[in-house]
Amino acid sequence: MTTGTAPSASGTTEVVLEADGLTKHFPVRKRGRELLSRTTRAVRAVEDVTLRLHRGRVTALVGESGSGKSTVARLLAQLYPQTSGQIRLRGEPVDAKGGRRFRAYSKRVQMIFQDPFASLNPVHTVRYHLTRALKIHGNAGKTSQELEEALADLLTRVQLTPPERYVDKFPHELSGGQRQRVAIARALGADPEVLLADEPVSMLDVSIRLGVLNLLRDLKERLHLAILYITHDIASARYFADETYVMYAGRVVEGGESETVTQRPAHPYTQLLIDSAPDPDRPAAQEKDGGTGEPPSLIDPPAGCRFNPRCPHAMKVCAEKVPPRFAIGDGDGHFAACWLYGDDLSGADKVKLREEVS
């Protein structure tokens, strides 16, 4: 009944980074009467997330703001400690709380942030940013000539050529796309195996987004990086990612090959998300009156499936039990955490539940 993400036929099956039952609760500051009580409320930002990143493949994590997708990236980068669950890098459990262990870990797992206007220091040149990354992770070489070569190599890799023209520029002299390329080059300076890209193009102008995405794909192919691509734009996940996971309110609700997930979405939330995406090709008549409501509070999320208050197909079981991942069976490892696909469980019971709540 429950399935993991089966390795796919098209890519390599080598798992680089995996998360198992990853959970993160942020405690909420107590106020007023709560100060006297023992219980601490928490924002349940990420709950029981299991995913795998493969060598040479892009895995997309799609969700609305507040769905916990960035928290997953930060947990994977070990910027926060997880509340529970395990992260494994090449099978080894990761515990990199600060210090030397964190640095060793970050050499292998690098992160790219959303806003290149904020992630580069405005008072330092491109050279400074890249040199620092190279030196910290021991890739700067021994002589200044080797360092120069490494710098030029990094800039060439992110297609900022000729390197001499860019290496001594300050961030304000570069456009948004160029800045994001510098941020990518800085991440590559560590020579990582995994790249965690948190909305890498959402702050960029539309016309240059594709350039950056194509660059990341090119890097994936040449350097065999495992890339986690976090986005709210499911169309770009289809274009760019091999596999797609969809998150809603802190849980992964669907996953599988990007093409399968976007063309035959199984979970009602994914269907809503795809119906809502702007699409010029959509015939006007096809407009469905689908989406109502908004994502729930994560301090006190709905019991059972967190989508049940908005779901057009909600059944009684949805409000009681958290749905496990059910295999859909129409593609490699396509699964949905939705009771609609749990028919093999207990047929008679389920029909009854369906009737009680329409």
Partner 1 sequence: MTDAVLEIRGLNVDYGLGDDAVHAIRDVDLTLHRGEVLGLAGESGSGKSTLAYGLTRLLPPPGVITGGEVLYHPDGGDPVDVLRMDHATLRKFRWAETAIVFQGAMNSLNPVHRISTQLTDVIKAHDPRSTSASRLARARELLHLVGISADRLDSYPHQLSGGMRQRVMIGMALALEPKVVIMDEPTTALDVVVQRQILRQLVELRERLGFSVVFITHDLSLLVEFSDRIAIMYGGRIVEEAASADLYRDPLHPYSHGLLNSFPALRGPKRELTGIPGSPPDLRAMPAGCAFHPRCPHAMERCGVEVPVLGVPGDRPGPADRTVACWLHPVQDNGL
Q: Which of the stretches 10-18, 34-42, 236-244, 321-329 binds partner 1 when contact is defined by CB under 8 A?
A: 236-244
Could you give the residue ranges of the DSSP H alpha helices within the chain?
Answer: 69-76, 99-108, 116-119, 126-136, 144-157, 163-167, 176-188, 206-223, 234-240, 258-263, 268-276, 347-356
> Can you tell me which of 292, 348, 356, 358 binds partner 1, judged by CB under 8 A?
292
Asked if residue 285 binds partner 1 (CB under 8 A), the reply is no
> Can you tell me which of 129, 137, 209, 316 binds partner 1, judged by CB under 8 A?
209
> Can you tell me which of 36, 280, 285, 356 binds partner 1, judged by CB under 8 A?
280
Taking the complex as a whole, the smallest distance from the CB of residue 207 to partner 1 amounts, in Å, to: 4
Taking the complex as a whole, the smallest distance from the CB of residue 65 to partner 1 amounts, in Å, to: 6
> Can you tell me which of 166, 240, 307, 341 binds partner 1, judged by CB under 8 A?
240
> Can you tell me which of 24, 238, 334, 350 binds partner 1, judged by CB under 8 A?
238
Judged by CB under 8 A, the number of residues near partner 1 is: 40
Asked if residue 221 binds partner 1 (CB under 8 A), the reply is no
Asked if residue 139 binds partner 1 (CB under 8 A), the reply is no
Which of helix, strand or coil describes residue 134?
Answer: helix
- Would you say 70 or 262 has its CB closer to partner 1? 262
Residues 6+ apart with CB under 8 A from 57: 11, 12, 220, 226, 227, 242, 243
- Would you say 75 or 237 has its CB closer to partner 1? 237
DSSP class of residue 28? P
Could you tell me if 244 and 60 are in contact, meaning their C-beta atoms sit under 8 angstroms apart? Answer: yes
Taking the complex as a whole, the smallest distance from the CB of residue 142 to partner 1 amounts, in Å, to: 36
Taking the complex as a whole, the smallest distance from the CB of residue 67 to partner 1 amounts, in Å, to: 9
- How many whole angstroms from its chain centre is CA 205? 21
Asked if residue 347 binds partner 1 (CB under 8 A), the reply is no
Asked if residue 330 binds partner 1 (CB under 8 A), the reply is no
Give CA–CA dist 168/292, Å, rounded.
51
Asked if residue 236 binds partner 1 (CB under 8 A), the reply is yes
Could you tell me if 158 and 181 are in contact, meaning their C-beta atoms sit under 8 angstroms apart? Answer: yes
Asked if residue 161 binds partner 1 (CB under 8 A), the reply is no
15: amino acid identity, one letter: V
Taking the complex as a whole, the smallest distance from the CB of residue 115 to partner 1 amounts, in Å, to: 13
Asked if residue 286 binds partner 1 (CB under 8 A), the reply is no
* Of 94, 44, 92, 97, the residue nearest 71 (C-alpha): 44
> Can you tell me which of 234, 261, 314, 315 binds partner 1, judged by CB under 8 A?
234
Asked if residue 165 binds partner 1 (CB under 8 A), the reply is no
CA 100-95-71 angle, 5° bins: 105
Give how far Cα 223 sits from Cα of 64, 211, 220, Å: 30, 18, 6
Asked if residue 278 binds partner 1 (CB under 8 A), the reply is yes
Could you tell me if 75 and 86 are in contact, meaning their C-beta atoms sit under 8 angstroms apart? Answer: no
Give CA–CA dist 47/49, Å, rounded.
6
Token digits of residue 110: 């690098």
Residues in 67-106 at the binding interface with partner 1, rule: CB under 8 A: none
Which residue ranges make up the site for partner 1 (CB under 8 A)? Answer: 64-65, 175-178, 205-211, 214, 232-236, 238-240, 259, 262-263, 272-282, 287, 291-292, 294
